[in-house]
Structure 1
Amino acid sequence: MNSNILIDVLPQHIKIDNKIYKINSDFRTSMIFEMMINDDTLNNEEKTNIALNLYYPKIPYERDLAVEAIIWFYTCGKREQEASCGNSRTRNSSRKNNRIYDYELDSEYIYSAFLDQYGIDLQDVKYLHWWKFRALFKSLKEDNQIVKIMGYRSVDITKDMSKEQKDFYKKMKKLYEIPKSQTEKEKINEIEKALLSGGDLSDIL
């Protein structure tokens, strides 16, 4: 059964093998998790270890169940086939070849959209549950620049378009293309170093 943001209490703890574990539910944690998942320079074992350290102040003994719980939380309590945690704009956006937003590249657009539409300054917010953030993100209006950019990235250029339309969308796709960079890797390295040294993640997150 799917979770319902209107009637269910948003989870800040996860039950694993009859034990209750706190999970880092702030939106910044899941943003970094998504950036990590899209980082091809990390192997699966590295991603698993980083994810466990990101989400759990105390890592559960049952690692496989702990990872399943992370996926459940990240997908906002949806079933696997509905795991986008988004709508028609963002669905499948985390797939390698079909990403239409990037939390690093698009940070200013996302920040300004939340400030403009909701009056939420994401810099000043100390805590915002990931599920709330995603509900707000997926409901951004069409006149926000980030929504326009996601539309440019996702649009299919078809043969029935005029030459002017094709040229325009090709230009926009090129202008707002998500490049392959080491930005995510650098961010993850900072997190890893902080975790291994027992440091504070607050400045990084």
Structure 2
Amino acid sequence: MDDQWRLPETIELGGEEYDIRTDFRAILDILKAMADPELSDQEKSQVMLEILYWDPEEIPIEYLNEALEKGKEFIDCGITGEGKSKVQLMDWEQDSPIIAPAVNKNIGKDIRSLEYMHWWTFLGAYMEIADGLFSQVLYIRQKKAKGKKLEKWEMEFYRNNKELIDLKQTVKKRSAEEEAALNELFGIKK
């Protein structure tokens, strides 16, 4: 029997297996960093390596780009970007209060109390969200993004839940001290 049904726990780079963090919370931390407008692309890459790989310092320099690419593939469950919408319809951090209960319903447990859940299991439950508040919010965001007219009940729902539906624009600037501390942490010299 092939291992096609096993959830991955390592990523192969140059013929060597490297252990990765597979718990959904670690991946959500990576996604949060990827959405941070204050982080440069280099900082985002460093964050991904530091969080995803248990021992990122053991990865040879010549495999760092491959480590990043395969890390992205793992996070996307191997699903390629072709056909994916470029319009942002959700935000993991902002939507977490309505995503968690929807995933809980699909899993049958409170995910926040679990010691561990593989990212792919979490994402599978997330992809199966069909009914409820989160799906309503996404539906209205999608209609608005496409410039479609909202039905009367949707307009009323939108007016009553504007804070929940409108994605916050995150454009904040770090203080000089925060910037220096991050540069030191990541070993970046400016």
TM-score range, shorter chain: 0.7 to 0.9
Identity of aligned residues (%): 21
When residues 166 and 124 of structure 1 are mapped into structure 2, their CA distance, relative to the original with a 3 A threshold, is: closer
**Aligned partners of 1:48 and 1:151: how far apart in 2?**
32
The match for 2:20 is 23
User: C-alpha distance in 2, partners of 1:112/1:45?
Assistant: 34
How much is the aligned-residue C-alpha RMSD, in angstroms?
3.0
The DSSP-based 3-state class of the residue aligned with 1:127 is: coil
- Equivalence for 1:87: none
1:151 matched residue in structure 2:
139
Q: Name structure 2 gaps, 5 residues minimum.
A: 186-190
Q: Which amino acid aligns with 2:140?
A: Y
Residue 202 of structure 1 corresponds to none
The 5 Å alignment of 1:1-205 reads 7-59=4-56, 60-61=59-60, 62-81=63-82, 91-92=84-85, 95=86, 98-142=87-131, 144-155=132-143, 156-158=146-148, 164=152, 167-168=155-156, 171=159, 174-175=162-163, 176-181=165-170, 196=185
Letter in 1 for 2:15: N
Normalising by the residue count of structure 1, what TM-score does the alignment of the two structures yield? 0.70
- Matched positions, count: 169
Q: Which has the larger radius of gyration?
A: 2
Structure ranking higher in helix proportion: 2
- Counterpart CA distance in 1 for 2:96 and 2:102 is 10
Deviations 1:111-155 (A, max 9, x none): 21223343221111111111111111010122x211111111111
Match of 1:199 in 2: none
Structure 1 gaps, min length 5: 1-5, 83-90, 197-205
> Does the Cα contact within 8 Å between 1:100 and 1:154 map onto a contact in 2?
yes
